[in-house]
Amino acid sequence: MNYMYTLGIDTATSQMSIALLKDETILSTAESNDNGHHSSNIMALISKVLDQGEADKSQINLISVDTGPGPFTSLRVGVATARGMAQFGRHPIVFVHSLEVLKESVSGNSNGDSAESYPYTVPMIDARRKRVFGAIYKGDKLVEGNLDIEPQHLADKIKKLRGRVILLGNGTQLYHDLWIRELGHQIRILQSDPSSQAVHTARLGRLSFLKHGDMGVHRILPNYVRKSDADASL
């Protein structure tokens, strides 16, 4: 039997995670809470995951990388590493979006809440400058995405939704008091597990590859959403 080995690379937050899947089975995971200094640790973390999964680079059938949105430098490290491995090793490659990856973690962290009770999900990531990157999903359908928004304005959008909402991501922690004050009983705040991000990155990437095939290295680019501070000052 031929198995599919998928390497998931997620550097969309300050905590980097790597995962190796054999079909749907998790072989190994590793994470590094290096506060965004991913470039010095990423190859060692990939080697650790391959060693623990008793696999080598030649066995990789697919590389799936989270292209953001997220911190500029962190995204560049993950994307450049994934592109380099795919090109050098001639591996197929796909990308997934960080907010979709976050949304996927709800299924394993719902504490018994049904989709009927909480039809909406709003994943969010700290975007600095007192803003968050966010998206609004109803079930699996994207209602509004690629938001680069002030938390108060996001709260105003959520108030208009007809239904209860799950919030998750590091943006919920930074502005916790605001969500509680503005949204109260309309929301449930879940704690996402950064160490599982690469697992969801690998799983979503595998599904994308089985449906659409190899995206090609030239299509794997960071999804910055906004200009960097350096570019914005020009």
Domains and CATH numbers, the chain: 5-97+194-232 (3.30.420.40), 110-190 (3.30.420.40)
Q: What is the CA radius of gyration of the chain?
A: 18
At residue 27, does pLDDT exceed 90? yes
The reported pLDDT for the residue numbered 232 is 45
**pTM attached to this predicted model:** 0.90
- Digit-coded pLDDT (tens) for 65-85: 999 999 888 899 999 999 999
Point out which residues pair with 96 in neighbouring strands: 66
Round to whole Å and give the CA distance between 16 and 151: 25
Closest CA to 64 of 218, 221, 212, 202: 202
Calculate the average pLDDT of the chain: 90
Would strands 131-138 and 141-149 be described as parallel, antiparallel, or unpaired? antiparallel
What pLDDT, on a 0 to 100 scale, did the predictor assign at position 40? 81
Q: Residues 141-171: pLDDT tens digits?
A: 999 998 999 999 999 999 999 999 999 999 9
* 230 pLDDT more than 50: no
For the segment 34-62, what is each residue's pLDDT rounded down to a tens digit?
A: 665 678 889 999 999 999 999 999 999 99
CA distances from 78 to 17, 33, 99, 182 (A): 10, 15, 16, 36
